[in-house]
A and B are shown apart, each in its own frame.
Chain A
Amino acid sequence: SKNTTASGNDATSALTADQVKIALVPGGPHPYFQPWKAAGQQAKQEFGLGDVTFNETSGWDQTKQNDVLKSLAAQGYNAFGIFGVSPDNINSTFQDLTRQGFQVASIASCPAGTTDDASFCLATDVEAAAYKAAKAAIAAMGGQGNLVHLTGNKVDSNTQRRMDGVQKAVDETNGKVKLVQTITDIDIDLQTAQRSVADLLAARGTDIQGIVNTAYNPAVASAAAVKQSGLPIKVVAIDDDPTILAGIKDGSVAATVAQNPVGQATVGSYALMKLAEGCTMTTPGVTIDSGSFVVSSDNVDSYDQERQAETTKLRQDFDDKYLSCS
């Protein structure tokens, strides 16, 4: 019987801001998502939301994430910003939630394929980010040489996109840069990443000039290993974790591609609130790039301003373009 579900899931009736309870649900524990906590609280204050919670207990398991989402719904949360563990089935999860009248946004990762059953996807364009990262690496290498790509779970469509992005940048060099190796599945844990990087450097440390990372643990591992080995390899990392920023400052990391987690959480919450208040998407399921920023020693102190500007612009775009409010 459908009438026993939690409050606020009646799709037709608009809510007021203080009735909107937002849950930000990452795929599992990861440094990337940590800024969401503060950003969510910030959004709660700023927009006068009923509640914003952050729940990372999914543990990179789609079944568990579905379970967590439903538990949150049962607790009265009625709008969800979700990083889908498995981009390939996450649309089904979105359907489940929207069927029950909840507001759903995919944040930080879009579903695989061309359709998105959430209201919108606010995420880094991973292909573009990987492309930028590879570009930065190629630039640091002086436009030629051998490049290696280190990344995460190979049976994840986002990984495929990252590989495409890197390939594209390499292709544009017309053979001056060769992508000699792509190592996947080493984002599971730090030791695995460290071991693989050590093996890589041992095997062909002397004939590679650049390493581009599109996952966190390999980035940390390769920055440290290259620094320690003293090889003239340019490392391009991902994200702006303190560890990596420190690397940029001390020169062991040539550049990193920062994403915009804060913007994703704030703007995502904002849009979810608007939708709950009765707005609709002009194009449901639209994909919106939350921006990616190449950070090098030149702009390491200033990139955040650029990013904040991007966030402000994103919010403006929602008001102007993506949302239609009566």
Chain B
Amino acid sequence: MGEATLTSAPAAPPQEDSTTPSGLPWWANPRVGLLVVIVALVILFSALRPSFLNVDLTLVPMQADLSVFAIVGLAQLAVLSLGHMNLAVPRMAAVSAFAAGLTYDRLHAPLVVGLAVALVVGALIGALAGTIITTTGVNSFVVTLALDFGLLGLVSLLYAWATDGVAFAVHPAGMDALRFDTMNNYCAGPVCGPPVPLVVPIALVTVVAVGVLFRRSRVGREMLMTGSSLRAARLSGIPVTRRIIQAHALSGLLCGLAGFLLAINNGAFSATIGDQFLLPSFLAPVLGGTLLAGGAVSVLGTVLGATLTSVIQKGLNLLQFQLDQLQILIGVVLLLALSLDRVRHVLAERRGVRR
């Protein structure tokens, strides 16, 4: 092993996040690896199916889906920061979407009011989960699992009570614009915006906000410290109980947002909102380098993780596989993408770290 490279090992270049231990070269950063894999897949799929670059049928819908799943990932990430899990992500989203739908249906409220209601309801349920966890000391996995069951029943009872079926037939003003329009529809004179759906900026603002929270803010950092070591956090003067409840409330709030956006994308506030959120909620952050053990999160990585899964899904859809082939390929591509990332990391470690 070359000694020169080691003695002159650069004092770690400015690092993006706290997840990469010091001393690894920039290209060992998992986010870079993900980005490379994503770009490679996009090139591959576009070469195989030029319609992958079709704006209206591929790119725009993909962005809209991506926005939802990035936020779903962040909802899980919020509690992963503590080393907790939130298995009630699906139903927190469903209940929040119900609350928004009810607001529109009964109060004929404007779009933003329903959004606000969804966020508040989500945050409250999250806070409830956090409170149960901190007061009883029962594992978050179990608490949120049970909560999910309970909410599942509640959702169906609520819809049965408030609607004649399982969905609200509401259409608040602005919903269609949010659903169908892209920035391309808004022009200042001859210059029109890019073909980006209007839900994307909402997601983007959320991503930045959560990123700032965990990177810069005291509260976010204290959540991470709590996740890193609960006892050390408590003995360092961090109000751990409050931080745990806040992280769960944040998770609930993001579930609310995800549920709202999905309802917008799907065009209806219905009981099935959120049904498919659970696995993607874990996949995106963990692909992005967030630890299940807590203490380190990567917001950007979560967005990239969500992007990767969307790209794989979309590309393979375009290639029109049979169901079994499709599932097998999704799994294999995921494994390959992850292994590539790992290979890169090992190479980097060979050059520097050996534990």
Cβ–Cβ < 8 Å partners of B317 in chain A? 57, 67-68, 71
Q: Is the CB of A95 within 8 A of B51?
A: no
* List of A residues within 8 angstroms of B58 by Cβ: 70-71, 74
Residues of the A chain whose Cβ atoms lie less than 8 Å from the Cβ of B138:
none
Query: How many chain A residues have a CB neighbour from B under 8 Å?
Result: 42
The residue that A155 contacts in the complex, of B61, B65, B159, with Cβ under 8 A, is B159
Q: Which one, A84-92, A197-205, A255-263, A274-282, is touching chain B?
A: A84-92
B49 touches A75 (CB 8 A): yes
Q: Which residue of B lies closest to A55 (CB)?
A: B320
Is residue A12 within 8 Å, beta carbon to beta carbon, of the partner chain? no
A176: CB under 8 A from chain B?
no
- Residues from chain A with a CB closer than 8 A to the CB of B272 are 62, 86, 88, 155-156
A71: B residues at CB distance < 8 A: 57-58, 314, 317-318, 320
Contact of A6 among B57, B165, B270, B275 (CB under 8 A): B57
Residues facing A in B146-202 (CB within 8 A) are 155-156, 159, 165-167, 169, 179-180, 184, 195
CB contact between A89 and one of B49, B61, B156, B270 (< 8 Å): that residue: B270
Residue among A1, A73, A92 with most chain B CB within 10 A: A92
Complex contacts, A57 vs chain B, CB 8 Å: 317, 321-323, 326
State which size class the interface on B falls in. Answer: 35 or more
Q: Which of B294-346 contact A (CB under 8 A)?
A: 313-314, 317-318, 320-323, 326
Q: Mark A217-228, 1 if CB is under 8 A from B, else 0.
A: 000000000000
A112 interface hit (Cβ, 8 Å): yes
B251-262, CB under 8 A of A: which get 1 and which 0?
000000000001
Instruction: Label chain B's interface by main secondary structure.
Output: helix
Cβ–Cβ contact A29 & B266, under 8 A: no
Contact (Cβ within 8 A) B57 A70: yes
- List of A residues within 8 angstroms of B57 by Cβ: 5-6, 70-71, 73-74, 100
B156-A74 in contact (CB<8A): no
The reply to whether A154 and B56 contact each other, CB–CB distance below 8 Å, is no
Question: Are the CB atoms of B56 and A100 closer together than 8 Å?
Answer: yes
Interface flag for A317 (CB, 8 Å): no
A160 in the interface, Cβ–Cβ < 8 Å? yes
A86 to chain B, nearest CB (A): 5
The answer to whether B323 and A29 touch across the interface, beta carbons within 8 angstroms, is yes
Please determine whether A88 and B165 come into contact, CB atoms closer than 8 angstroms.
yes
The distance in angstroms between the C-alpha atoms of A275 and B323, with both chains bound, is 29
A76: chain B residues at CB < 8 Å are: 51
Counting CB contacts under 8 A, is A192 at the interface? no
A53 at the interface (CB under 8 A from B): yes
Contact status A157-B61, CB under 8 Å:
no
Mind listing 16 A-B residue pairs with CB under 8 Å? A4-B56, A6-B54, A57-B326, A61-B275, A62-B266, A64-B276, A66-B266, A71-B314, A71-B317, A71-B318, A71-B320, A74-B49, A75-B51, A112-B167, A155-B272, A156-B166
